[in-house]
Amino acid sequence: MRIIGLAGRRLAASIPTLFLILIGVFLLLQLAPGDTVDALMAQMGGGDAATARELRKFYGLDLSIPAQLANYLWHLVRLDLGFSSIYGKPVATVIMERLPPTILLMTASLSFAFFFGLVSGVIASHAVNKWPDTLISTLGLVFYATPSFWFGLMAIVVFSIYLQWLPAGGFEDIGEVRTGIFRVMDIARHLILPTLTLGLIFLAIYLRIMRASMLEVLNLDYVRTARAKGLDETRVVMGHVLRNALLPMVTLIGLQAGTMLGGSVVVESVFSLPGLGRLAYESVIQRDLNTLLGIVFVSALLVIVVNFVVDLLYARLDPRISAEG
Amino acid sequence: MDAVKRYFRSPAAVIGLVLLLAVIAMAISAGALYPRDPLALAGRPLVWPFTNARFPLGTDNSGRDIAAQIFYGARISLLIGGVATVIAVAIGTLMGAFAGYYGGWVDNILMRITEAFQTLPNFVLLLVLVAVFGSTLTTVTIAIGIVSWPAPARLTRAEFLSLRNREFVQAGRTLGMRDLQLILGEILPNALPPVIVYASVVMALSILLESALAFLRLSDPNVASWGNLIGLGRDVLRVQWYVSAIPGIAILVTVLAVSLVGQGLNDALNPRLKSR
């Protein structure tokens, strides 16, 4: 229970950060040329000044900036993100519709990167400076330097256009109506390439961290003791080394959550996935500032939640942390 | 000089340096080799690479020379990457230095701001900045610098925390040096080496950020940027995939070169870490 208390305190401490972000971005967006009404009028193919004035009044855009900010924050406290004039729905609804693909994509990429990063890191650390290590480390460097959107495009060329194994984009087949397990399989097939694309760079990072922290732990005295008492290598690694080597990996998940969310903007655009990242891109293009602000809020919230989960995980892996709290 | 010797002993670091010099050479020679505007029409559209001696790397959708765009793209990538890195490291070191040196409420406030920047996904913030300030070369570069400073700030702060009570600082204090003198003249030079090594990471990420932005057509469309070319090639990906493939390799090589040089510098400057 102390763990929850500790994590809860960290969560509460992030509320001021959240408000700082919102106020900052809100003020920033005030500097943008044109507002929602301008965009709306342009979409309608123009209109007279009187209509514009009325619309501005309707959206509360005729108030002073501090009043608008106070208005926005007050709505936010009640989890009301305002109205998206471009999509014709409340921003919260639009975001909720777009959230599942992104969360699915992030979870899948994270699991992929974490698992393979861990395995290849362990292999590399066990063959330090021999050929498997050299091969894995070189691949890691190349993955790290590969722009994800380019990797995605090349994967489409190979797997969708030439081999025709996997779909080139979209979240599911819209041609046929599927239900149950068939729908799940279909979505999974659509997510393979985006997952690889988004996960690749993180795989490279996890691999490097895992290799380094394994090497560090393998040299500690208690590992020598474990070996001295005759445990075989697998048991030493699984029972003694891994748990401690995992700590830096877990820390990294929290630190990379934001980067991953940013990366999904690009990956979702490559594979035309109807997710939050794609929505962010669309709202920039269409100048839908209300939606953009909502996305900023939700993504900051998402990062905070991931960090909260990481705190809990951390305390499980290293009991000393909760004892100190 | 020991560090130089150590640097050249690592094959990876040498390869990185050679690649980086090659990219720099491309950037410098672009004007001499291709005196015409790289975005001007040069010939028939979609000529495959290696089929026409005039266009060794072929032409893109509208008949512009891909090789010329690759050479000029090196300029853009290095320019944006370099300047954005200088901006990020400058902001980061100042913030980190003051937070680490003063501690207390200064540290509290500065770290809150840093945290706010880190909580916000940097690509999303980049989109917001570009949406507000437009996407000319200058604004894109500054925006990338602005979203990249938190990591150097944390690094500098950590260095300052460990250095601020060392003997040489206390000696300076007894001599009556003022805070600013201590921060800039005494501690900063000692805290800088790891930050400079880290700058290679910032530069690699900046180049990737710009290319992603250009790919989404949110960067400056009036310059020959590798990301722009990849975005353009996407329209003809089905058959003429080389239009996207070639600039991607250029980005990969450049980012790889910068990372390898950074790692080589790190190993050369911190030999103890290398022995593991």
Got the DSSP string for A143-181?
HHHS-HHHHHHHHIIIIIIIS--S-SS-SS-SSS---HH
The 3-state DSSP class for residue A320 equals helix
- Put simply, the answer to whether B215 touches A266 (Cβ < 8 Å) is yes
- Put simply, the answer to whether A262 touches B256 (Cβ < 8 Å) is no
Which of chain A's residues have a Cβ under 8 Å away from the Cβ of B236? Answer: none
- Closest residue in B to A17 (Cα) is B116
- pLDDT reported for residue A198: 92
**Spatial contact of B149 and B97, defined as CB atoms under 8 Å apart:** no
Residues 194-223 of B with CB under 8 A from A: 204, 208, 211-212, 215-216, 218
Which of chain B's residues have a Cβ under 8 Å away from the Cβ of A159? Answer: none
> Which stretch of A34-38, A296-300, B166-170 has the lowest confidence by average pLDDT?
A34-38
Task: Provide the token pair at B246.
Answer: 């070639």
| Kind and range of the H or E run holding A76 | helix A65-77
Q: pLDDT per residue over A263-278, tens digit each? A: 899 999 999 888 998 9
How far is the C-alpha of B48 from the C-alpha of B241, rounded, in Å?
Answer: 10
Q: How confident is the model at residue B273 (pLDDT cuts 50, 70, 90)?
A: low
Q: Kindly report the average pLDDT of chain B as a whole number.
A: 87
Which of A27, A149, A156, A158 would best serve as a mutation to test chain B binding (most B beta carbons within 10 A)? A149
- Closest residue in B to A216 (Cα) is B276
Q: How confident is the model at residue B149 (pLDDT cuts 50, 70, 90)?
A: very high
Say if residue A84's pLDDT is above 70: yes
**Spatial contact of A20 and B112, defined as CB atoms under 8 Å apart:** yes
* Number of C-beta neighbours around residue A168 at 10 A: 20
Task: Provide the token pair at B71.
Answer: 């050479």
Task: Provide the token pair at B214.
Answer: 């250009």
| Kind and range of the H or E run holding A323 | helix A319-324
- Put simply, the answer to whether A284 touches B131 (Cβ < 8 Å) is yes
Determine the length of chain B: 276
Cross-strand bridge partners of residue A90: A83
- Round the CA-based radius of gyration of chain B to a whole number and report it: 22
The verdict on B238 touching A (C-beta cutoff 8 Å) is yes
ipTM: 0.87
- Put simply, the answer to whether A150 touches B204 (Cβ < 8 Å) is no
- Put simply, the answer to whether A284 touches B130 (Cβ < 8 Å) is yes
How far is the C-alpha of B227 from the C-alpha of B241, rounded, in Å?
Answer: 15
Q: Give the C-alpha distances (Å, rounded to integers) separating A266 from B26, B73, B224.
A: 28, 20, 20
Percent of chain A past pLDDT 70, that is, above it, reads 92
Q: pLDDT per residue over B41-97, tens digit each? A: 767 777 777 777 777 777 777 778 888 888 999 999 999 999 999 999 999 999 999
Partner residue facing A21 (CB), from B116, B212, B234: B116
- Least Cα distance to B120 among A292, A299, A243 occurs for A299
Q: How confident is the model at residue B170 (pLDDT cuts 50, 70, 90)?
A: confident
- Closest residue in A to B254 (Cα) is A145
Q: What number is the average pLDDT over the span A204-209?
A: 89
Which of chain B's residues have a Cβ under 8 Å away from the Cβ of A32? Answer: 131-132
Which of B109, B122, B127, B205 would best serve as a mutation to test chain A binding (most A beta carbons within 10 A)? B127
Partner residue facing B128 (CB), from A16, A142, A292: A292
- Least Cα distance to A201 among A243, A149, A265 occurs for A149
- Closest residue in B to A268 (Cα) is B216
- pLDDT reported for residue B255: 94
Indicate the burial class of A164 (C-beta count within 10 angstroms; 0-12, 13-18, 19 or more): exposed
Residue contacts between A and B (CB atoms, under 8 Å): 145
- Put simply, the answer to whether A31 touches B113 (Cβ < 8 Å) is no
Q: What number is the average pLDDT over the span B15-39?
A: 87
> Which stretch of A10-19, A294-303, B74-83, B214-223 has the lowest confidence by average pLDDT?
A10-19
The verdict on B109 touching A (C-beta cutoff 8 Å) is no
Q: Kindly report the average pLDDT of chain A as a whole number.
A: 82
- CA A222 from centre of chain: 37
How far is the C-alpha of A75 from the C-alpha of A77, rounded, in Å?
Answer: 6
How far is the C-alpha of A99 from the C-alpha of B157, rounded, in Å?
Answer: 36
Say if residue A314's pLDDT is above 50: yes
Tokens 């820390």 appear where? A251
How far is the C-alpha of A92 from the C-alpha of A298, rounded, in Å?
Answer: 9
Q: What number is the average pLDDT over the span B185-206?
A: 89
Q: pLDDT per residue over B226-271, tens digit each? A: 988 898 888 888 888 888 889 999 999 999 999 999 988 888 877 6
- Put simply, the answer to whether B121 touches A295 (Cβ < 8 Å) is no
Partner residue facing B112 (CB), from A16, A261, A300: A16
- Put simply, the answer to whether B124 touches A280 (Cβ < 8 Å) is yes
How far is the C-alpha of B189 from the C-alpha of B224, rounded, in Å?
Answer: 38
How far is the C-alpha of A218 from the C-alpha of A245, rounded, in Å?
Answer: 9
Which of chain A's residues have a Cβ under 8 Å away from the Cβ of B216? Answer: 265-266, 269, 281
DSSP conformation class of A33: S
Which of chain A's residues have a Cβ under 8 Å away from the Cβ of B276? Answer: 212, 215-216
Q: How confident is the model at residue A46 (pLDDT cuts 50, 70, 90)?
A: low
How far is the C-alpha of A98 from the C-alpha of A273, rounded, in Å?
Answer: 9
- pLDDT reported for residue A220: 80
How far is the C-alpha of A56 from the C-alpha of A48, rounded, in Å?
Answer: 13
Q: pLDDT per residue over A143-192, tens digit each? A: 989 999 999 999 988 888 888 787 877 777 766 667 778 788 788 788 88
DSSP string, chain B: -HHHHHHHH-HHHHHHHHHHHHHHHHHHHHHHH--S-TTS--SSSSPPTTSBTTBTT-B-TTS-BHHHHHHHHHHHHHHHHHHHHHHHHHHHHHHHHHHHHH-HHHHHHHHHHHHHHHHS-HHHHHHHHHHHH---HHHHHHHHHHHT-HHHHHHHHHHHHHHTTSHHHHHHHHTT--HHHIIIIIIHHHHHHHHHHHHHHHHHHHHHHHHHHHHTT-S-TTS--HHHHHHHHGGGTTT-THHHHHHHHHHHHHHHHHHHHHHHHHHHH-HHHHT-
Q: What number is the average pLDDT over the span A119-124?
A: 88
Say if residue B1's pLDDT is above 80: no
Give how far B52 is from chain A: nearest CA, Å.
Answer: 24
Q: How confident is the model at residue A34 (pLDDT cuts 50, 70, 90)?
A: low
How far is the C-alpha of A321 from the C-alpha of B184, rounded, in Å?
Answer: 36
- pLDDT reported for residue A306: 87
- Least Cα distance to B169 among B193, B186, B149 occurs for B186
Question: What residues have CB less than 8 Å from A174, skipping those under 6 apart?
Answer: none
The verdict on B237 touching A (C-beta cutoff 8 Å) is yes
Strand locations in A200-299 (E):
none
Q: What are phi and psi of B63, to 5 degrees?
A: 85, 30
Indicate the burial class of B62 (C-beta count within 10 angstroms; 0-12, 13-18, 19 or more): exposed
- Put simply, the answer to whether A300 touches B119 (Cβ < 8 Å) is yes
DSSP conformation class of A84: E
Which of A28, A134, A150, A302 would best serve as a mutation to test chain B binding (most B beta carbons within 10 A)? A150
- pLDDT reported for residue A163: 87
- Closest residue in B to A290 (Cα) is B128
Partner residue facing A215 (CB), from B204, B244, B276: B276
Give how far B178 is from chain A: nearest CA, Å.
Answer: 32
- Closest residue in A to B126 (Cα) is A262
Long-range contacts of A276-280 (CB under 8 A, 24+ apart): A276/A95, A276/A98, A276/A99, A276/A101, A276/A102, A277/A102, A278/A98, A279/A94, A279/A95, A279/A98, A280/B124, A280/B127
The verdict on B252 touching A (C-beta cutoff 8 Å) is yes
The verdict on B234 touching A (C-beta cutoff 8 Å) is yes
- Put simply, the answer to whether A295 touches B124 (Cβ < 8 Å) is yes
- pLDDT reported for residue B252: 94
Partner residue facing B241 (CB), from A24, A28, A157: A157
- pLDDT reported for residue A246: 83
Task: Provide the token pair at B60.
Answer: 């893109």
How far is the C-alpha of A119 from the C-alpha of A138, rounded, in Å?
Answer: 16
Task: Provide the token pair at B232.
Answer: 């353009």
| Kind and range of the H or E run holding A71 | helix A65-77
Residue environment code for B125-154, b if the CB has 16+ CB neighbours within 10 A, otherwise e: bbbbbbbbbebebebbbebbbbbbbbbbbb
How far is the C-alpha of A160 from the C-alpha of A293, rounded, in Å?
Answer: 35
Q: How confident is the model at residue B276 (pLDDT cuts 50, 70, 90)?
A: very low
- pLDDT reported for residue B272: 59
